[in-house]
Structure 1
Amino acid sequence: MKVYELLGRLANADPEALVLVFMPYADAADGAVLGDVIVRDDLWNHESGLYGARPYEVFYPGVPEEREPLYSNEKVERVKVVLIGEELGNFHPQLEV
């Protein structure tokens, strides 16, 4: 989702509503309040391709990673990202290793 899409979906939201975040396939009891948003200035890698015969997609900062021979059709694109989550302490620039 792009930032403009998120802003469009939030346009009519109650400004006092809580924003809940969920892991994939969670049920309603697994939600947690959104606690952190980080607008990154650096570019991240958006890597996609095949692992065996299955599609994969990952995002990560830094230098593109070398992959083992089971990976194929790899494509790496540099993208701007916004991180959101319940707690993102390890993603703050001053804390990264």
Structure 2
Amino acid sequence: MKVRDLLRHLKEADPDAVVLYLAPYVDASEADEIVQGTVSNELWTCERHLSADGRVDKIYYPAVRGTSLGRNEATDERWPERVVILSSIQGAFDG
């Protein structure tokens, strides 16, 4: 999701509503409140991994870390991205 998409989705939201994050495969009662939002000043890398069964996974990490483990040069792609990080833990990312 891009910031523009998020802003479009939030256009009609009550500004006093609490923002929650619901992780995959958890019950709705396990949603966590987003308590911090950070606009990263550094570029991150996005890697798109294509598995043999056709599944596509995206992995994001700070660009200064190099490439991820298990990267397949023949099938995977990578590119720089600007990111906004939302966290349910205060101080999880202050970059």
- TM-score bucket (shorter structure): 0.7 to 0.9
Matches within 5 A, 1:33-44: 33-44=33-44
CA gap of 1:65–1:88, structure 2 versus 1, over 3 A, is farther
Matches within 5 A, 1:46-57: 46-53=46-53, 54-57=55-58
Q: Which amino acid aligns with 1:82?
A: V
Matches within 5 A, 1:1-16: 1-16=1-16
Q: Which has the higher strand share?
A: 1
1:92 aligns with 2:91: no
Note the residue ranges of structure 2 that are not aligned, 5 or more in a row: none
Could you say what the CA RMSD is over the residues aligned between the two structures, in angstroms?
Answer: 2.0
The alignment of Structure 1 onto Structure 2 pairs a total of residues equal to: 92
CA gap of 1:8–1:55, structure 2 versus 1, over 3 A, is closer
* Percent identity of equivalent pairs: 30
Q: Which has the higher contact order (CA 8 A, sep 6+)?
A: 2
CA gap of 1:24–1:88, structure 2 versus 1, over 3 A, is farther
Note the residue ranges of structure 1 that are not aligned, 5 or more in a row: none
Q: How far apart are 1:63 and its partner, in Å?
A: 3.7
Return the alpha-carbon distance in structure 1 between the equivalents of residues 8 and 34 of structure 2. 18
